[in-house]
């Protein structure tokens, strides 16, 4: 803990310093992808919205089962 109004007070008030490195860029890219997925989800008709990798029968068992497909490893 540091005392209030210490020498680095202004620096601390501006938030944690961000250092862009390879990991930060990857995280930022993943965040952008997540935002795009969320926006696409919200644009759909609320009665037909599905999360990624869901199929219509997940929400309505009366529908015919979809064709099965494999999801590649580490792609979810």
pLDDT of residue 20: 64
pLDDT of residue 31: 92
pLDDT tens, residue by residue, 18-59: 666 777 788 889 999 999 988 988 998 888 788 877 888 888
pLDDT tens, residue by residue, 14-29: 777 666 677 778 888 9
pLDDT of residue 26: 87
CA atoms of 45 and 22, how far apart (whole Å): 37
Residues 6+ apart with CB under 8 A from 76: 52, 53
DSSP per residue, 10-27? HHHHT-SPP---HHHHHH
pLDDT of residue 36: 92
């Amino acid at each position: 803990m540091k005392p209030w109004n210490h020498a680095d007070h202004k620096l601390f008030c501006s938030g944690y310093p961000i250092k862009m490195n390879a990991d930060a860029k990857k995280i930022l890219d993943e965040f952008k992808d997540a935002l795009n997925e969320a926006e696409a989800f919200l644009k759909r008709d609320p009665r037909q919205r599905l999360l990624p990798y869901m199929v219509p029968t997940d929400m309505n068992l009366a529908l015919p089962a979809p064709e099965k497909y494999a999801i590649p490893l580490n792609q979810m």
